[in-house]
Amino acid sequence: MVDSKHQWKAWLYLSPAIILLLVFTVWPIFNTLRMAFLNGYGNMAAMGGATFQFGIENFLKVIEYDKFLDCLKTTAILCVATVPISTTLALLIAVALNSIKPLQKTLQTIFFLPYVTNSIAIGMVFATMFNIVGYNPVEKVADTWGIINNVIQFFGGEGISWINQGSTYTANIAVMIVYIVWNALPFKILILLGGLQSINKQYYDAAKVDGTPKARVLTRITIPLLSPMLAYVIITGFIGGFKEYSSIVGIFGEKMGPPDDAGRLNTMVGFVYDALEKDRQGLASAGALILFVIILVVTLFNNKVIKKHVHY
Amino acid sequence: MSNTKTMNVMQERDVRTRTIGQKIFKVLGKTGTYIFLLVMALIILFPFYWMIISSLKTLAEYRQAVPTFWPRQIMWGNYAEAFTKANLGDLFMNTLYVGLVSTVLSLVITVLSAFAFARLEFKGKETLFGALLATMMIPGELFTITNYITVNNLGWMHTFTALIVPFLVSVFYIYLLRQNFMQIPNELYLAAKVDGTSDIKYLWKVMIPLALPTLISITILKMMGAWNSYIWPKLVANDAAHQMITNGLRNAFTDTTGQANYPVQMAAVAIVSAPLFLVFLCLRKYIMQGVSRSGIKG
């Protein structure tokens, strides 16, 4: 079978993919590594003939830069808060959906809707829901409190500034958590429901014969048999969480923070892109590599924890 | 004798009450399940509802201290205003152009590569395929930095080329299609070879029709990707002539405080969201299949 004509043909068919991959995937891996270890690398300067010393200055600068630690903090908080909430909610919804017959397809479609949205566009909708229009911070009066504050006030609470001037970091993070969870649910529900539907019905029949209570069925049959899918959504959730960026742009705009404190909610990815646009590619590369290592470590850690609990 | 009889009766009654109890419990459980699901569904749907009713209000009604849950006066004019203000017509055409060109080219490249990997024998095939899969583990940000420089040095800044070319090859789509192609029996290919059918004709007549669902999924995900892309276009082509729809939308409404016309803004968001919804409602099956297999957003 393997004759030279076949070889030649295979490489011909593969050539467009290989050329593009070499330029836009393989070369970047080496070049990004190279730039990260060239002190203060910038493309404009490099084009102008400047040379750079080999060293780890970029990494030191990234770590010493206090805003980078803020980015890391925001990213980590968002990750740690949203993944457990969205996974638990998705699991509950998937189990509930799996247990009903009428309306199942309709509800499934509704729960998938946030997936087919543009995260910037719907971020703007969430922003208006939390937004206070015409707010006077001294007299605490506003034309429009925003629907979320209206609901809080309806239940006797007090409206607060979520994303506007004078809002606190905690309030900003709360808004982001709500939005990210809302956005993350569809994918997780889809995967978990798919997993549930592939569980052999015999396990449940056996449990029914034994008269096992529902809660026990959930913890002893459903969750163990679903554990590979749970592991998958948790790991992808963490990876996605560490790359959070555009959902924040959706709500806060490119300022990445409330009007009086721009950049307050910047994330790791945001930091990398800022450095990139300012022609500080060495710094950007170092930041991206640090992000990569963090994701790798978190994933390996997750794998290790999960391996103890996953039943394949 | 009579004792056992009464005991039997008592037991029967016991069993009956227990089954009734179980039934009540079951009905309660079902009701609880439905209530939970409906409440969650309402929470999921609420932002869409709020977007639509806000987009139809007058600015005065929107700014009322007590919100209305249905616009008193329906302002279709907001949509026209949004369309012109955010220049959605041009943005729409730019995005459609980038989406269509990159989908078509990407499909050609993916089909050819998947065919080579699934049907042809060549030296180093397994190694090459393994190396391709390995690149999938690296986060995209690492590529973006160098690609930004590459695009800049090639003189592609502010062109559609910069938006299309770097993302034409997706290792994952090649992988997906290869799996699909491998399920088609090799005998068909050999028979076609004996008949003197060319590879291209065989691909077109046999393999593509059989792998159509995968190709449709790839097409939809690719188009959704163009529609939702934000970061890369912002870096390389954020000028008026090449702006993509998401960037244009965000840039047109940057004023988050003060006197912004929120109903118009919501109308613009609704216009941008509508095509995705329409596609989703028509091709639900392919999208959900594609997403559950790929696990990627756009």
Quote the pLDDT of residue B259: 59
Question: Who contacts A113 (Cβ-Cβ below 8 Å, separation ≥6)?
Answer: A186, B44, B45, B48, B277, B280
Quote the pLDDT of residue A117: 87
Mutation site, B22, B28, B37, interface A, largest A CB count within 10 A: B37
| B220 CB neighbour count, 10 Å cutoff | 23
**Separation in Å, CA of A144 to nearest CA in chain B:** 5
Is the pLDDT at A162 greater than 70? The verdict is: yes
**Nearest-by-CA chain B residue for A42:** B149
Question: Who contacts A158 (Cβ-Cβ below 8 Å, separation ≥6)?
Answer: A152
Cα separation, B287 vs B292, whole angstroms? 8
Question: How far is the CA of A285 from the CAs of A46, A115, A146, B237, in angstroms?
Answer: 15, 31, 40, 21
Which fold does the domain A62-309 belong to in CATH?
MetI-like fold (1.10.3720)
pLDDT averaged over every residue in chain A: 87
Partner residue opposite B65 with nearest CB, options A119, A144, A246: A144
Quote the pLDDT of residue A28: 93
> A44: closest CA among A287, A285, A280, A288?
A280
Dihedral (Cα; B79, B83, B84, B85), 10-degree rounding? 90
| Segment A123-144 mean pLDDT | 78
Give the confidence band of A259 by pLDDT, cuts at 50, 70, 90: confident
Quick: pLDDT tens for A179-229: 999 999 999 999 999 889 888 888 888 888 888 887 888 888 888 888 888
* Burial (CB count <10 Å: 0-12, 13-18, 19+), residue A16: middle
| Segment B12-38 mean pLDDT | 80
Quote the pLDDT of residue A35: 92
> A169: closest CA among A263, A241, A246, A245?
A263
Is the pLDDT at A80 greater than 50? The verdict is: yes
For domain B85-294, give the CATH number: 1.10.3720.10
Quote the pLDDT of residue B294: 61
What's the Rg (C-alpha) of chain A?
Answer: 25
Residue pair A255/B250 in contact by the 8 Å Cβ criterion = no
Partner residue opposite A25 with nearest CB, options B30, B62, B143: B143
Question: Tokens standing for A60?
Answer: 């030191």
| A65 CB neighbour count, 10 Å cutoff | 15
Q: Hey, what amino acid is at A59? A: F
Q: Give B198 or A14, the one with higher predicted confidence.
A: A14
Is the pLDDT at B176 greater than 50? The verdict is: yes
The DSSP-derived string for B226-262 is HHH--HHHHHH--STTT--HHHHHHHHT---STT--H
Residue pair B219/B238 in contact by the 8 Å Cβ criterion = no
Cα separation, A107 vs A84, whole angstroms? 23
> A78: closest CA among A293, A248, A297?
A248
Q: Domain residues of chain B, as ranges?
A: 2-55, 85-294
Question: How far is the CA of B25 from the CAs of A92, B28, B31, in angstroms?
Answer: 19, 5, 10
Helix (H, G, I), strand (E, B) or coil at B136: coil
Cα separation, A219 vs A211, whole angstroms? 15
Q: Domain residues of chain A, as ranges?
A: 62-309
Question: Tokens standing for B212?
Answer: 């159509």
Stretch among A88-92, A212-216, A262-266, B248-252 having the lowest mean pLDDT? A212-216
| A247 CB neighbour count, 10 Å cutoff | 23
Mutation site, B115, B149, B247, interface A, largest A CB count within 10 A: B149
- What percent of chain B shows pLDDT beyond 90? 35
Quick: pLDDT tens for B128-159: 999 998 888 888 888 999 999 999 999 999 99
Give the confidence band of A139 by pLDDT, cuts at 50, 70, 90: low
Residues of A in contact with B132 (CB under 8 A): 21
